[in-house]
Amino acid sequence: MSPVVRLEPVTPANRAQLVALSVAAQQRDFVATNAESLREAEGNPACFPFAITVDGSVLGFAMYALDPDDGNYWIYRLMVDQRHQHRGIGRAALAELIALMSALLNCPRIVLGVEPTNTSARALYTSAGFVATGETIGGEDVMCLTL
C-alpha cells in the first residue's frame, strides 16, 4: 500500500527540516540541494515550493514553476531524502504534484528536465505518463505530460 503523502507549504517551522534532507552521494549531481532550491524560490515568485510529508514528517521536497521563457508549468524539483527512498514516497508525491498542477488555469501540460543518466527518475516519470520530447535544455532531457 502506498504511503499517504501530502504536499505542505514551506514554513519557518519546516524549513530547517527541508534543508537537512539529502539524496544519496550518487544522486547529488541530479538535483540541487533543498537550500539552493529554497533560495531560488525566494527570488522567483513564479516558484511554488512544498514539503513532502508522510504522517506529519518531512521526507522530501518538491517545487513547480511557471517558466516565463516558454509559458509552461515545469516541475523544477522532486526529491525524497535518501533514508526514505524506495518506499513509494516519490511516486505518490509526483501523483500529488500532477493533481495539484492539473488544476491550475492554463496548464495543458507539465514539463520537466531529467539528467540523461538518472535512469530511476526517468522510469518514474515515464510510469506517470511523461514522454521524452527529444529536446535537451541545460544538459537535461526534456519530458512532457499532456493533461
Pick from 116, 46, 40, 34: nearest CA to 80? 34
| Range of the structural domain that residue 65 is part of | 5-146
The predicted-structure confidence for 32-57, as pLDDT tens digits, reads as follows 999 999 999 999 999 999 999 999 99
Pick from 52, 42, 36: nearest CA to 97? 52
1 pLDDT above the threshold of 70: no
Number of domains comprising the chain: 1
3 pLDDT above the threshold of 90: no
Q: Work out the percent of the chain whose per-residue pLDDT is above 70.
A: 98
Residue 2's pLDDT band, with cuts at 50, 70 and 90, is low
Mean pLDDT calculated for residue range 83-104: 95
Residue 142's pLDDT band, with cuts at 50, 70 and 90, is very high
Handedness of CA 3, 7, 9, 11 (dihedral sign): positive
**CATH of residue 92:** 3.40.630.30
**Which residues have C-beta within 8 Å of that of residue 47, sequence separation ≥ 6?**
40, 41, 63, 64, 65, 76
